[in-house]
A and B are shown apart, each in its own frame.
Chain A
């Protein structure tokens, strides 16, 4: 019994020391990482923005639409940028997508994912997201048969990622349509 206690407490001690060291490193690296992530978000926002002044982030309180930004045009709303959460092949997908006020997808970037490199991870690239642009609501392609032969070959092996991104974009489109340009 005492032997077991001794073994256990030794292991616990090693873990505690390790945890303390990690905490110390984290205090140094955390602000740097936060800074880098903020810069990445800003660049992505500007990349998808339909043009205009990007407003403050507002919580949406939806299962898919996490938050949104209203993009102000000259005298009305020129579009929305939505922060969407989808469920991919290997974990959550965080997608940043911009919509016109009538719900058309204008731009879309995959911000975070845990998809398979070489297959689902391809969705991080520009050409992948182009397949969704210009569509709204249920017209957003979510299955391979809605694509041309060459496009459907390109996503072959990562069908789940493709429909996961589409599902999130469709919910986003519905959300924007419900807002009705407000």
Chain B
């Protein structure tokens, strides 16, 4: 491609929410340089404000926060907070972007986030609310990135005083706004959106009645670190509510003033989650009721979540759109008046609290940004993309992900982020011969056999530690511990000055073990490990003793006890580190070939992107031609020509020199480790056996078009599926034009006990076909019998259009399903109409069943056995983390794309195909596979092959080898240590946490006690 000229190697990512962070991390891991800018002073975005996330109801911050600190640490990521784009010039591959950085008045390199400034001048400095117990919306988010304060200069009245309290001299009073020009090859837009402020509506009382809150505010109230410390209480009187009601679609799916017409896609799930968590965490007897229009639980396994919420937790759901909320002034209670489909009379119910489910809005600032970027927005203000290029904006070289593109939840944002990163990375030419950048550490000295010489360095962290205990006294005591060769108080140990001093001392005194008495290893271990490496010591020879977070911060009021405890903790650290030994991080050369299983739209997109990066791709397809299920689709809801797209895509794949297409091929065996797999394939009509060596595997085996034997399908040829109708409209328009009355039935074979999940695609395909049929014959009567219409995002526009054109939507309940009969005069459908309250008998020229997709159970089962991969109950492959790693699988080196993951549209499959390629590139960019060091090791001599470890391992790693003892592949070991703890012969040790290290710590603790 001509864009791949030597030039900028950098990608600019705008927006540091989860999407932007994911994109930046993917790019950095793929050896690209990244500039990540965010207008805020810390990255994290919206997700860090959530309490728990569906569908697991976990607090996922512990999962996302490593991502956040990771992005601060990544060498290739230049993080620029408080920075905005001014102007973009140039073309893809060669952009000049002018960015402006606001003054922070704090030197990021010097600030240690000690908090002295906030302590003295709480109003002048800002920190991510997480650590700030005063902030009304504080969150449990202990790892703000960058880990530094910022100064609100408007509020500072005395900069000298502020400088006076900062012990490390990080205050920069004359900091100025800076403008610079970045030379970048591509741009990823990930600015997200805001949530609608319902105070502009006058009917729900938001901002007027204290007990009316938004979903996000409710989330804060429930949060353990929220303003009420996890007590669920209502704002007006601090009492626990007994009845909480949710109103859905507030400001969304409307045509009134202040409404937006689209669906925000996430609110149904978050309302359900909030209701379930209310029941789960607080009190079963709190009544929860959700007022909704359509329950849109269309994501992977979301329908089950709905079923559980209703059946197990007793969350009540009422289909209606309440008109207003009225407060009873004396009690603060709120009454909601509503009417339901089955009962025309108005009812009024009283709630203690009402939660308004508000959706996404594109802020004005994003529209202005789009103008500066020169990209088109759609009518709703989201970045315009085309049907088959889901992350490409209208300007080549600028890509988009997350809510900037359309409303979506976290997993879909993650998928898109990796796709956008992959597409942006493809703009850059990377020289394959480029030598992997080495981090310049001196060679490691061999300390085995040397007696331990421990250096103990104790931080005072300003007053954080030093204000509670006398560090110099502590240091004196530590000197008497065994093996301690040197001790010193080091002030702020993590500051550059102190690090330099410690490095000099380590060399001067020939120290071979180090204990740092400071803050949490969770945040600072890597920093001190790197310090050791700079001194030629193995990074596993340092122990961080957390005397700040776990001692001085919590025992401020009893300095004597705190000092004693710090001493004990340090003693434990010293004893432990004496038993530490150098660990080798295993590594092996990476095989750069890729195996893609499945030649549908997802597999082909992944293959093309990877082959475009110069990698060899084997594309294995079991059928005799490429295309998969998308080959049977003619048009998308948006009117794009799928047939032409598919033939172009297939031609490109087949012509690509780097892609070897293996048709009529099946996988028969598999072995190896991530980065070095060998897979056996039988290929061609004669089932010729061949072996492929590859580093990663992408699974894109698709799903099956469902054809359940219901409603005369397969018995009467006037009963069709949506897929049949899609083809008929294209291939035989005359026969369709001749139809006067057509009935569609939704959720056939989905959302029922045998296939409990929603097929996601059927509502939009029904509306797509209805609109196309209406175009052929505007007089045609079309009835769509449905349980909910789940036209999420901008699909809602087409739902509205269908209603406008007279398509009739009739609701049915699963216990009163419609019935289809064949008569001499045609088909007759009996359906019960809730609104009319009677049975209808409608004759039809055709009945179209929305049968959706069903997992290809046989294929996924076979492959899951061969590859040792997990599946969900309904036969789809199970991703590693449903929220944050939707494209990665639990076995490293395996990635997942398309409908093998869950039902999705063609566009969504393309996105995940690109996403899988992007995730694969993060691995393939490496020359070596680093297998880490914290792995379990078996002593073969002690092992009696009792199989306990084989059964205990959550990842099925241990096996009994040919020599008859258990073997644990370091490449597959996750390092939990469960096997080590369970082994009755004590034959297994978990490196870094060996038994003698743990016991030594106990010795240190009880040394002087007995």
Pairing of A with B: no
